[in-house]
Amino acid sequence: MILDKIVNHKKVEVEKQKQEESLDDLKRIIKGRDNTKNFKAALKDQGMSLIAELKKASPSKGLIRDDFQVVEIAKEYEQAGARSLSVLTDYEFFRGSLNYLSEVREAVELPLLRKDFIIDPYQIYQARAYGADAILLIVAILSKEELAEYLSIADDLDLDVLVEVHSRKELNIALEIDTEIIGINNRNLKVFEVDLATTLGLQRLIPDDKVIVSESGIRNRNDIELLSEHRIDGVLVGESLMKSNNITAKVQELINS
């Protein structure tokens, strides 16, 4: 199963990173960081909010964009009207980088989501040190206790948290820990198949005071309009943007009514 493979690799990777850059090192860097930007507020702006993803590759699709000029793409996303950016920082499976996060932070004013497989508190401090304003926590790879602990750490670091679910069971856990921003992943991380019906089914079970983001499989304006009819606040879009020959036009197709 690809998710298990990713998590097992991530555990080894994080232990290596701790040897190269200590938690105390990260805390010192954080002290010099500016205040975070409000990821949640960006999602609550009127209309559908686009989280545009910087995604070079994926386990299911392989290389998605060969000409991956991360800073230039981030600037184009911002100018085209995206309200926040998702930065892939996993290298082994997505060809991302923590350095992408810090480079993009210097280049744009939008809130940044660190997109990775967070399985250790160290990674939360790492996200803040490298310039993230929000992190992704995936219910499928964490216990309820870990989720609660990680939410608390993120709150202490002034980071917003997008808690990702794919099933009713996972959604119930997210609601039990009182998360504010719920991401519904239309991609089954066990087999990597995509179905927008996942969002449509689960959103009905989410209280009105929660912020809802639909992730994966959003390809065109028709998808956006469908999701808009079902109380979705934002969409996270990567592949369809990365494959586009005209990123600005694709962003505007998605966000302009």
Q: Which residues are catalytic?
A: 53, 55, 115, 164, 185, 215-216
Beta bridge partner(s), residue 213: 183, 234
13/251 Cα distance (integer angstroms): 34
137/183 Cα distance (integer angstroms): 9
Find, among 152, 151, 153, the residue nearest to 182 by Cα. Answer: 151
Residues 119/123/124/128 CA torsion (nearest 10 deg): -160
In angstroms, the Cα distances linking 228 to 50, 131, 186, 194, 196 are 12, 30, 15, 19, 12
